[in-house]
Amino acid sequence: MQPFSFFPLGHMLLVSIQEDIGDDEVARMVAGLCRQVGEKKIRGVIVDLQNVEVVDSYMAGHLQNMAAGLRLLHARMVVVGLSVPVVMTLTDFGIQLSELDFALDVEKAVARLEELLYSDRHG
């Protein structure tokens, strides 16, 4: 079973990532994501990390790369579901993820994406 799943939400796409995702699988996921974004005219991607217990610098790097790649495909990305221990660890390691956008839950992520897309359209 692949450790990630896509859920289409209109012009948005919800990506849920499971705990034990390896580098190869991340690559496969990004490839699949980019294909879907291109084919289905997706404008917003929500990455759900609720089931991820450890976000290390590799994972952080993958997320940053994903956001940058999606930007080139004219789509925006919002990360949701970071738990308190994950955030504490990231802060301890000084990982800021300043390029990324975050939301509390999927509902708020949808709103945040709307906001981002609106500002993209209207300068």
C-alpha–C-alpha distance, residues 81 and 79, integer Å: 7
Q: Residue 8 or 38: which CB sits closer to other proteins?
A: 8
Instruction: Mark the segment that binds other proteins (CB under 8 A) among 20-28, 29-37, 62-70, 79-87.
Output: 79-87
Residue 110 interacts with other proteins (CB under 8 A)? yes
Whether residue 46 contacts residue 109, with contact meaning beta carbons closer than 8 Å, is answered with yes
Residue 56 interacts with other proteins (CB under 8 A)? no
Query: Does residue 32 sit in helix, strand or coil?
Result: helix
Give the other-Cβ count within 10 Å of 31's Cβ. Answer: 10
Binding positions for other proteins, rule: CB under 8 A = 8-12, 79-80, 82-84, 87-88, 90-91, 96-98, 102-105, 107-111, 113-115
